[in-house]
Structure 1
């Protein structure tokens, strides 16, 4: 699969998405187009799977007669296999291409009702099976009755049919198992929606450049992972990015508070070919209601981009919570940053690595946060590195951020690595963007753990202690650039020359004023 084909597919899908742009906001038409792409994906997967089963019978899945006894018997056998292997089932008449074809007809082309039934049937086909939790409510954000699609039912139908017909003409090439073309295109679309979603973008998307840094850090020295976890997993992109850095990931775990984003995350997993038995995402508030199913789990790698300085209850009940009790302090109600750090550290396995993005305030704020920071360093000695990132690289906020890297078994227990990567970016439109060379410099410096003039510094724990556990990066990495000395004699000579020029100009203006018979203005 060529890069040109990947880019062509991305462009095609984005153009189709823009069919809905004039009708609704970015976050709304995102849910429709990604949902329809997902339905097409499930449909094509179903067709390929069923065709393989029917190969010996000499027919294809869409040729099965659903009304005949033989056809029903075939479908029953295929359904049992499909729900076990794929996690869901669709009948031949429910395939995407059939619905799109009906929508393209000149008459008898009303598909909204059929489409609604099919999407519900995908979900109901999983009931009572292991995949039920992974498909429940997946399409609940596709409101086919929304007035934003059109004032009348016919207008809504016309718009949806137009989108489905365009999508039906695109070949996702699912037979090419070596290339995750559709998965890459899906990630591209999520990124495009994030760029237009303002502050809401942070709820579901971490820029790929930042995801790459986190993924490379937590997989350093590893070729496979038993598990990876993201307690604020959003669309799941960060979890999936980690998988690109190793040969195999046993299980993907995460939790997401926003139900729409949670649905997007599950779709993203399935669409990237992650079997439903290999991911376990939960829809709840991670801090207030951590998933009971994850309570006793410890993970091989943890990555996260939590909401910056979010509010949480900081309720006294958490003082007895194993995630927070050892610290003696809870993160402030108005700044939950360290609560997320404590939660992640609690789930970090021995020999594992955790990397999370946080606002710079966590490095130096005092009171409870200063107490927690000191405990992590002095009491636990888990803090391995602090990486400062450029400002304005996240959608929806321009603040500078940092990455904290934690390990429970550190190879270098006597020091902490500080990296100041705040100046390594390229301006792209209104955003600052990390380029491949910037990412490589950060990752290689982390892995080699070296002090580089004006970029990184390996600080002894004693030095951090002397700074009262303040982690503000300029305390450790000196980025001061000495200005060139000013030649005062040259400046003085230039001022004299300017004075002379001004005097000559004044005389010239005075002469013009005399000729015009007006008063000199100075």
Structure 2
């Protein structure tokens, strides 16, 4: 544990040092700072990952005084064989791509060009594995020409040298055997200053880890292998990382869609940090609702925290295509004359997810709690389909303010194509959690014990007083398809045995109090009448 904290502290210091370099060259809080920090961090991580893997494959190189020179001295065929033997998650680098090589060249002229050229070559040579695709199939580049973000060309060499010096002082190599939670902490710290949507429309960038863990551990209570996991509004990938960790990164392949380039880049970094590089080619930047890349793909597990409200009037007409009729079986929300930004796009995501499950698929979807009791409309049609098809495994209504980004009360729907229709779990966890203050906002945080209670109660299908009910699909249909646990809790009437004398005494007491109340009422009535007469006399 001490070692973990030490690694985290050192890595945070690296991130702070990179931000300091940006600030010193006028890029603090600049729109391009996010690209510089995340891309330089990624370059460092890939550099050290490559070094670590090569040394594991060829231990003799571990003692080399100059690692990049030792690689250059290898015969070409031996070097190519070495690259071919590396795990697919490892980038393919040349000796001149290494940070140690750039560090040795920093006093050469035109260093900024060398720096940019190096990153460009790495991007090209690793495009098949590390590129994010758009709907059309076009691939983005892994790295930008970062020196170009410095408007004063005379400062570019110095800026790139400063970055390389910070990278050279630090190494990830001792960290690569650490567990998932370590890199989750680092990823959060890395993106914390950029964790707002500056143009992308879909997905919160950040889902609380407690919610992500609950979703993953309810969805995957038993070991599975070779499964496909999907998020149609992935954001930075918190939900995908959590379910991949629960399944085992080597046992699953990740697929995602999101309209935001920024969130897609965050997700790519998250996949690299969490040993899921093999899934990067499956990240698609697209409008999932209007231009779904994976329209005819079917998945084993789907997780999603979709945007709840969004103006999608611009592509509303595109959704009425014949090809989408089956997907949007419950309908498409109308375009309001005003407040178009309040259109319930999450209803489109729920229908898309239902369409995207395979024959034994499971899903967990964050929805506004109002969805689970709406009396009519698209919401009701979706709930009817889930119950009539036997796909609802259960619902957990979360505490208010558990999401820092929204004041909306949320619930999590758990779908399962093979659900037990006679033992559906509806849980009201809204009273759980502890309130903490974050800046000016208050947020509810679940304790570890409460997380475990929610997970075990749900997975073991337990009925717990004032927390959960276990009911059949027929009972839900009889209650107008309500998914609210509160509507199924029994009304409790407590009875106390008393004697005839005690009953008579209580009744006498009630009667005496009633007489007193009537007398007080009469006295007040007389006083009011006097006051009114006095007012009338004064007016005359």
Normalised-by-shorter TM-score class:
0.7 to 0.9
- Out of 46, 50, 54, the position equivalent to 2:50 is 46
1:116-515 equivalences under 5 Å are 116-126=116-126, 136-139=139-142, 143-147=146-150, 151-174=151-174, 176-177=176-177, 179-180=179-180, 183-190=183-190, 192-193=192-193, 203-224=204-225, 226-247=227-248, 248-276=250-278, 280-291=282-293, 294-312=294-312, 313-315=315-317, 317-318=319-320, 320-321=322-323, 324-325=326-327, 327-332=329-334, 334-365=343-374, 367-413=376-422, 415-429=424-438, 430-432=441-443, 433-472=445-484, 474-476=486-488
What is the match of residue 31 of structure 1? 35
- The answer as to whether partners of 2:130 and 2:281 remain within 8 angstroms in 1 is no
TM-score of the aligned structures, taking structure 2 as reference length: 0.75
Contact 1:382 1:410 in 2 (8 A): yes
**Cα distance in 1 for residues equivalent to 2:207 and 2:199:** 12
Separation in 2, partners of 1:358, 1:65: 53
1:308-330 deviations in Å (ceiling 9; x for gaps): 22333343654634674573523
CA shift, 1:406, in A, is 0.8
Report the Cα offset of residue 95 of structure 1: 0.9
Q: Is the partner of 1:303 in helix, strand or coil?
A: strand
TM-score, normalization: structure 1? Answer: 0.77
Q: Which runs of 5+ in 2 are unaligned?
A: 336-342, 495-512, 517-540
Residues 220, 125 of structure 1: alpha-carbon distance in 2 compared, 3 angstrom cutoff: same
Match of 1:498 in 2: none
Q: Distance in 1 between matches of 2:325 and 2:207?
A: 25
- Any unmatched runs of 5+ in structure 1? 483-488, 493-522
Counterpart-to-counterpart distance in 2, 1:113 and 1:269: 29
Contact 1:36 1:164 in 2 (8 A): no
CA distance in 1, matches of 2:129, 2:196: 37
Which deviates the most, 320-329 or 238-247? Answer: 320-329
CA distance in 1, matches of 2:30, 2:475: 48
1:454 aligned counterpart, secondary structure: coil
Deviation at 1:215, TM superposition (A): 1.3
CA offsets per residue over residues 231-264 of structure 1, 9 Å max, x none?
1122223212112223442311111211122122
Aligned residues, how many?
474
- C-alpha separation between the residues in 2 aligned to 1:81 and 1:367? 59
Alignment of 1:84-103 (within 5 A): 85-86=88-89, 88-100=91-103, 102-103=105-106
Query: Is this contact kept in 1: 2:301–2:363, CA < 8 A?
Result: yes
- How far off its partner does 1:210 sit? 1.7
Identify which range, 20-29 or 367-376, moves more after superposition.
20-29
Farther-moved stretch of structure 1 (179-188 vs 307-316) = 179-188
Measured against aligned partners, the alpha-carbon deviations of 1:282-312 in whole angstroms (never above 9, x if no partner) come to 1111111111xx3443222111111122333
Superposition deviation, residue 8 in structure 1: 1.8
